[in-house]
Amino acid sequence: MTVRCNTSSQVGAGAFARPAERSAERQALEDRKSEGGTSSRQPAGRRPYRCLAVLLSLLGCARPAPAQSFNAARALQYTREVVAFGPRPIGSPNHKKLENYILAHLKNDQVEDDAFTADTPEGKFPVRNIIAKFPGTRDGVIVIAGHYDTNYPLRNTGYVGANDGGSSTAILLELANQLHGKKRQGRSVWLLWTDGEEAVKDWTATDSLYGTRHLADKWQKDGTLRSIKAFLLADMIGDADLNVDRDTNSTPWLEDMLYRAATQLGYQSHFFARTIAVEDDHLPFVHLGVPSADLIDLDYGYGNVFHHTPQDTMDKLSPKSIEIVGNVILETVHMLDKTSN
Ligand code: 1BN
Ligand code: ZN
């Protein structure tokens, strides 16, 4: 039998059997068991697929994501719980409840916050970025970010931002599950729930990105920025019809790396069919020279009709989409762990 591969990756690149990953998988299985989730035992009928995955991996072909990595059902459940708080614009009681929900999830982790008062066209608002730090054995930090506030102008319309605000919050909560309580064999990973991403009136350079403009400035002043190797942003990644855009404001080599990761996992059809320029939370970091990439699907419904409308609801989302982006991020983190500088 001849097996053909349509990728040029070397044998062993991104190989399936990384020791650290295997123990992470075991931990994820234990987590699921203790949460009363799906059975932790691998059904006998699945074993041939595992063999196939190992074979494809050894041949450097696209391979399915490891079965026990990112838990998509759990990520969607987090989205549901976040949405259940209702509209979560900056300054609202629901926003405060969500802050406490995120912090409760991180109760055993090293957490910092960056809280300040933002001066906006609608007055002064409290803004709070939340950072969970997972130290690694190698120099350098990989930041994975997503915003948790929801659109302010739509606050009285019943708008809940299931995709825009909900999915980004949830993917980080699930990534935290992959990182809790383990020493990373690689670079440090910081999960960043950004706040005040949304404009309070009309999107301009000064009415938007309140949280990340503040944090990038702070991290530049205190020297933190120098240690950041990459800034990966996830936004609106829950759409059941997932089409992640290539963004010309992102760093080209990091976009290329994300695409390689997606291809290695067999997800490339969901990535980069379209190229656009996106203004989002990565911009303040791009402007200060940090390699950054925005994983965003701005084709939410035909012609993006659900974006910033009360139709941004749970029924439009799929756990598979969050899983795809979660696994691509994890694969990219592994790649960044191995880069030389
Ligand atoms: C993304 C999610 N953005 C706001 N919420 C940034 C953006 C605003 C992207 C307008 C496109 C248009
Ligand atoms: Zn938005």
- Residue 62's pLDDT band, with cuts at 50, 70 and 90, is low
Q: How far apart are CA 56 and CA 73, in angstroms?
A: 26
> What's the pLDDT at 285?
99
Residues 236-259 have pLDDT tens digits of: 999 999 999 999 999 999 999 999
Query: What global pTM score does this model have?
Result: 0.84
24: left (phi over 0), alpha (psi -120 to 50) or beta: alpha
Q: Indicate which residue's Cα is closest to atom 3 of ligand 1.
A: 280
Phi, psi dihedrals of residue 294, rounded to the nearest 5°: -105, 120
The overall average pLDDT reported for the chain is: 85
Residues 6+ apart with CB under 8 A from 125: 90, 91, 117, 118, 196, 200, 210
**DSSP letter at 165?**
I
Report pLDDT for 273. Answer: 98
Q: Within 13 A of 13's CA, how many CA atoms are on the CB side?
A: 18
Structural domains of the chain sorted by starting position, each given as residue range(s) with its CATH number in brackets: 65-338 (3.40.630.10)
Q: What's the Cα-to-Cα distance from 304 to each of 62, 150, 153, 265, 308, rounded to whole Å?
A: 30, 17, 18, 27, 9
Q: 39: Cβ–Cβ under 8 A, 6 or more apart, which residues?
A: none
Q: Which range, 36-50, 54-68, 189-203, is most confident? A: 189-203
pLDDT tens digit sequence for 272-293: 999 999 999 999 999 999 999 9
From residue 259, give the alpha-carbon distance in Å to each of 119, 244, 295.
Answer: 38, 10, 11
Does the structure show a pLDDT above 70 at 201? Answer: yes
What is the model's pLDDT at position 21? 35
Higher pLDDT, 65 or 225: 225
Query: Distance between CA 328 and CA 241 in Å, rounded?
Result: 17
The closest residue, in CA terms, to atom 2 on ligand 1 is 164
Distance 209 CA to ligand 1 centre (A): 10
12-52 per-position pLDDT tens digit: 222 222 323 333 333 333 333 333 332 222 333 344 444 44
Q: Which two tokens stand for residue 11?
A: 């044998």
* Predicted local confidence at residue 261, as pLDDT: 98
**For 66-84, how does the pLDDT look when each residue is reduced to its tens digit (9 = 90+)?**
545 899 999 999 999 999 9
**163 CA → ligand 2 middle, Å:** 9
Quote the ligand 2 centre to 165 CA distance (angstroms): 7
- Residues whose beta carbon lies within 6 Å of some atom of ligand 1: 164, 198, 203, 235-236, 278-280, 298
